[in-house]
């Protein structure tokens, strides 16, 4: 038998399968460019079938890490990065892709926080994932805070500048509008004066190019404000920065930590800020925990 974790992102999907007799399998796909939920589900279905063909053990349970806001009834209420999913009934859409398996889902930030907390052996941990959007999760006393039915920990939509740029959610000044992957790349392009891909940005950071360092530093400064606000309220013993955008950038978490240290009240001790132990795969490993009934 096998367990399958699926991490659904704004621009890509990652899958990880744990089997009883044949080890582990992984697969990745990028969403099609067309804005249609049918095309998305068709592409996901092909990827799942290709993965299942590599192993002859039946998948008995599937855990899905979702970035969207999903109601208790299973309907997608909002997903700014893929708005055509709004209104989709998640269970009805996903069940045909995994015949014979139980399918469950949870917030991607929650699952990432749980996976990181267990990997790092931390009872109290704040996770922030920076990718196409910004998500997060909080573990207090070895449990998701404040409970499994609360919905997502929307640190990405914490307002840090009420006159700041417009966020995809419709409000102004969300940390996601300033510090997400797309926001950082757009800033880097303005500073460089020419097109910037993610690979360009990573190379620029490695070479110490000023436009790259300045673009990332501004994102880290915005994240530091949001993280410091959460730390003032909930006092985690550790903060972890991950996600597909932040994880490959050298020094990202250290820059957030430095920016936080400069804004702490004198009587507040510093909270350690670390890069994710699972790098950009925290939500995926959390989805596997969910499939196994461990989340």
Cβ atoms within 10 Å, residue 154: 18
Instruction: Lay out the sheet containing 143-144: strands in order across.
Output: 143-144, 134-140, 125-130, 238-242, 273-275
Distance of CA 236 to the CA centre of its chain: 19
Distance of CA 203 to the CA centre of its chain: 23
CB-based burial label for 171 (10 Å; 0-12, 13-18, 19+): middle
In sign, the C-alpha dihedral spanning 138, 87, 71, 100 is negative
User: Tens of pLDDT along 48-98?
Assistant: 999 988 887 899 999 999 998 898 889 999 888 899 999 999 999 999 999
Residue with the two structure tokens 């990028």:
30
- In order of their start, the domains of the chain are 2-107+282-292 (3.30.420.40), 111-276 (3.30.420.40)
User: Tens of pLDDT along 110-127?
Assistant: 999 999 999 999 999 999
For the chain, which residues score pLDDT lower than 70? 146-152
Q: Indicate the SS3 state at residue 75.
A: strand
What pLDDT, on a 0 to 100 scale, did the predictor assign at position 147? 58
146 preceded by a cis bond (ω within 30 of 0): yes
């Amino acid at each position: 038998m096998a367990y399958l974790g699926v991490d659904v992102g704004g621009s890509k999907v990652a899958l990880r399968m744990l089997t009883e007799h044949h080890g582990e399998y992984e697969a990745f796909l990028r969403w099609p460019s067309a804005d249609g939920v049918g095309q998305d589900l068709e592409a996901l279905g092909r990827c799942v079938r290709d993965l299942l063909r590599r192993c002859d053990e039946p998948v008995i349970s599937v855990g899905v890490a979702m970035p969207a806001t999903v109601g208790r009834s299973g309907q997608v209420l909002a997903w700014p990065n893929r708005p055509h999913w709004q209104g989709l009934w998640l269970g009805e859409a996903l069940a045909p892709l995994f015949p014979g398996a139980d399918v469950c889902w949870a917030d991607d930030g929650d699952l990432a926080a749980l996976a990181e907390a267990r990997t790092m052996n931390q009872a109290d941990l704040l996770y922030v994932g920076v990718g196409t959007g910004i998500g997060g999760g909080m573990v207090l006393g070895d449990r998701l805070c404040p409970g499994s039915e609360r919905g997502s920990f929307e640190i990405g939509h914490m307002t840090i500048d009420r006159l700041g740029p417009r966020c995809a959610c419709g409000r102004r000044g969300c940390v996601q509008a300033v510090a997400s992957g797309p926001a950082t790349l757009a800033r880097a392009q303005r500073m460089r004066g020419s097109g910037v891909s993610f690979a360009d940005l990573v190379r620029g950071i490695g070479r110490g190019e000023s436009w790259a360092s300045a673009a990332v530093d501004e994102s880290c400064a915005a994240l530091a404000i949001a993280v410091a606000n959460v730390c003032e309220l909930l006092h985690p013993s550790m903060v972890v920065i991950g996600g597909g955008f932040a994880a490959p950038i050298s020094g990202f978490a250290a820059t957030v930590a430095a920016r936080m240290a400069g804004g702490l009240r004198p009587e507040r001790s510093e909270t350690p800020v670390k890069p994710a132990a699972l790098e950009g795969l925290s939500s995926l490993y959390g989805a596997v925990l969910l499939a196994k009934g461990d989340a």
